[in-house]
Amino acid sequence: MKTAEITKILMPVDFSPISLHALAYAEELAHRCRAQLLLFYVIEPVVAPMEFNTAAIIEANHTEQIIDKLQQLRDLVVRHGVDALTLAGEGEPATIIINTAADKGCNLIVMGTHGHQGFRKLLLGSKTERVVRGAGCPVLTVGPHGLSP
């Protein structure tokens, strides 16, 4: 039986402590496998009445800020000469993560077990669970072990 080679890892980041904790695992795996690491943030659409079409302006500015923040994170956390790129997408997070992994040819997704919504959201049905169930590649989930409460 041929073992699967890991060449491209998608790492969804929401800047929560658990997400950053999972990033350490993704970076180490990318280093050991000589894989490319894609740091990915999903912007969830905000549905609110806006006047004068300012929604498009706010959205474009928000995307630039997210990419800047991802690039700063990459420069701070990614070591070992790992090839790391930053991406942002928009939509329902689980769907966008699954689609991006497929579109970019990722053969592993690494993500935290829960993000900003915390333990309550984990019990009610998490984005991570939807990604695990729907992804076309393996998903490594990283829990909060070792994190301070």
- The answer for residues whose C-beta is within 8 angstroms of residue 98's C-beta and 6 or more apart is 131, 134, 135, 136
Instruction: Report d(CA 33, CA 26) in Å as an integer.
Output: 10
In a domain, 148, yes or no: no
Asked if residue 15 belongs to a domain, the reply is yes
Res 146: pLDDT: 66
Contact 25, 110 (CB under 8 A): yes
pLDDT band at 97 (very low <50, low <70, confident <90, very high): very high
- 109 and 9 Cβ atoms separated by less than 8 Å: yes
| Range 33-45 burial, b when 16+ CB lie within 10 A, else e | bebbbbbbbbeee
Domain that holds residue 63: 8-142
Instruction: Count the domains in the chain.
Output: 1
71 part of a folded domain: yes
Q: Is residue 3 situated within a structural domain?
A: no
Q: Identify whether 95 is part of a domain.
A: yes
In angstroms, the CA 83 to CA 87 distance is 13
Residue 59: the pLDDT is 55
Instruction: Decide if 21 contacts 121 (C-beta within 8 A).
Output: no
Tell me 143's DSSP state: -
103 assigned to some structural domain? yes
Q: What is the pLDDT of residues 38-88, one digit of tens each?
A: 999 998 876 555 555 555 545 555 788 899 999 999 999 888 899 999 999
The structure's pTM equals 0.83
Instruction: Look at residue 90 and tell me if it is in a domain.
Output: yes
Residue at 25 is within a domain: yes
User: Cα 109–115–117 angle (5° rounding)?
Assistant: 145
Domain at 58, CATH number = 3.40.50.620
